[in-house]
Chain A
């Protein structure tokens, strides 16, 4: 009698993200101090953000506009009545001992965004990730721990309040993600949307985009969520993915060993590629939220909402869909071209000027992107304008110039711009059969050995003769016609 081994329990991960996005305003959320990154310590502070008695914070209208626009872009409901609250806690990075945030009446709720994962074969899988809420709040200051780079071990700390009061959008997702890859893609799409809107630069190194992740693991089929663990301190999308994948493995191994998962906050350590417990007692916080008495509630009128809605650009997901369905591009190309709004707009301008989408995509994603990466430039900074790219492409298509010539003149176009027609005046394709034939005769006469080998069956040498022709004409020989004429002459 044989006993079947018990089926191994399969586990699935439940992942949710809490993202803080710094808004690209000139001034802080409730005062006229600068939000500029990299200023000298405590240069951008005033009695309001420092919480001096008797001051009156007033909401920056750009913060409201950006929050509503972000909410609209995330398909969320915009609250008709919203307010600010005080979140109380003591920590030296918080001058007022409370943070002005939004608690029970956030500006936006119930949204979603669509992520797209493209596999190695280029197949795209799309998934909607729910957005629970989005609210406005102020950032805290920055602490420098003296004597140690960690809290423990330092004998005192230094406080820089420049970041205090910098406007943030906190965006909380539904626990809809199931892998590190999905979570990293969600964070990237969120950043793409914020950048398209122009409401945040999304720079993770400078802390403009910060993601905290909640991860739990449960046996497949179980309805209840497992105990969740929060992970912090990831400063790149790949770190988000790796931290989550590590954490899923750690929690699964613990469950398989019959251990209990502890609800805690863990830090991602980039050096050792693992998460470590922060060893903080949970449940000791009690924020005692109450309505912020110094700030008036916000009522976004239907008209205002409509006006802001009309100012939204076409968003990355819509562009991806359109590039595939209307322009016939692959999911991969659509994704690459729409990653940066400026690149997408450049590409679209080239098409509007008559370039074929596939050709324009190849030039933008190939030679132009390579040049941008090498020179560390943005696409808006190059001399080659979209209409010139369209001209270049159409000259290749109508065979005025060869692709080789186009590549040859590209560096000059990228750095100096100018008219393609002017540049190729004496670089045009030679497509006069008589001219080509006489050149072929010359080449055949100059290479009798190769000619004999060819005629003895080494037909691969056709390439050699084509190469000689191109060399002779500086790449101007019409490739198709040259091939035809060569083949004929070689066989005669």
Chain B
């Protein structure tokens, strides 16, 4: 098994997911098999392959620093569950991860 229940518990916590003990058990098994499946990749010999961070071979994509304001800001505000005037309104913040 490549992942244990404690790791699943931690990942769930970091992703702010509430899992029941049964779900934790189930996901430990399922994620374990996924990771085992990917493990097959390590059979390949990559000693002569340059490491990469991307699948597409492009670099230096940039844009000009030119102002082009978005016209429908109201639509964005309306997307939120709650707003207060021009602000987004969020529930009480209990702690900080930062």
Task: Check if B62 sits within 8 Å of A58, measured CB to CB.
Answer: yes
Task: Check if B87 sits within 8 Å of A60, measured CB to CB.
Answer: no
Task: Check if A158 sits within 8 Å of B65, measured CB to CB.
Answer: no
Partner of B98, one of A32, A160, A285, A297: A285
Partner of B62, one of A34, A61, A280, A285: A61
- Chain A, Cβ-Cβ closest to B65: A62
CA distance A392 to B33 in the complex (A): 85
User: Which parts of B51-90 form the interface with A (CB within 8 Å)?
Assistant: 53-54, 56, 58-70, 73, 76-77, 84-90
Across the interface, which residues of A come within 8 angstroms of B56, CB to CB? Answer: 296
Interface size on B, residues (CB 8 A): 36
CA distance A291 to B84 in the complex (A): 35
CA distance A278 to B97 in the complex (A): 12
Task: Check if B85 sits within 8 Å of A151, measured CB to CB.
Answer: no
* Residues A295 and B61 in contact in the complex (CB < 8 Å), given A42-B77, A43-B73, A151-B96: yes
CA distance A159 to B56 in the complex (A): 36
CA distance A295 to B60 in the complex (A): 9
Contact with B along A275-289 (1 / 0, CB 8 A): 000101100111010
Stretch at the interface among A89-97, A119-127, A427-435: A89-97
Across the interface, which residues of B come within 8 angstroms of A42, CB to CB? Answer: 73, 76-77, 86-88
* Residues A32 and B66 in contact in the complex (CB < 8 Å), given A158-B89, A299-B60: yes
Across the interface, which residues of B come within 8 angstroms of A64, CB to CB? Answer: 62
Task: Check if B69 sits within 8 Å of A61, measured CB to CB.
Answer: no
Task: Check if A32 sits within 8 Å of B69, measured CB to CB.
Answer: yes
CA distance A60 to B53 in the complex (A): 21
- Chain B, Cβ-Cβ closest to A160: B87
Task: Check if A45 sits within 8 Å of B73, measured CB to CB.
Answer: yes
Contact-residue bracket for chain A:
35 or more
Across the interface, which residues of B come within 8 angstroms of A291, CB to CB? Answer: 53-54
CA distance A159 to B88 in the complex (A): 5
Across the interface, which residues of A come within 8 angstroms of B67, CB to CB? Answer: 26-27, 32, 34
Q: Distance (Å) between the CB of B3 and the closest chain A CB?
A: 15
- Chain B, Cβ-Cβ closest to A141: B88
- Chain B, Cβ-Cβ closest to A48: B70
The reply on B34 being an interface residue by CB < 8 A is no
Task: Check if A157 sits within 8 Å of B92, measured CB to CB.
Answer: yes
CA distance A89 to B98 in the complex (A): 8
Task: Check if A296 sits within 8 Å of B59, measured CB to CB.
Answer: yes
Task: Check if A156 sits within 8 Å of B66, measured CB to CB.
Answer: no
CA distance A272 to B86 in the complex (A): 34
8 A-B pairs with CB atoms under 8 Å apart are: A32-B63, A44-B69, A45-B76, A89-B97, A92-B90, A156-B90, A286-B14, A296-B54
**Contacts A33-B69, A64-B62 supplied; 11 other A-B pairs, CB < 8 Å:** A25-B65, A46-B76, A143-B93, A145-B93, A156-B90, A157-B89, A158-B90, A160-B87, A160-B88, A280-B95, A296-B58
| B interface residues (Cβ-Cβ under 8 A, vs A) | 10, 14, 16, 53-54, 56, 58-70, 73, 76-77, 84-93, 95-98
Q: What 4 pairs across the A-B complex have the smallest Cβ distances?
A: A46-B70, A158-B87, A32-B68, A61-B62
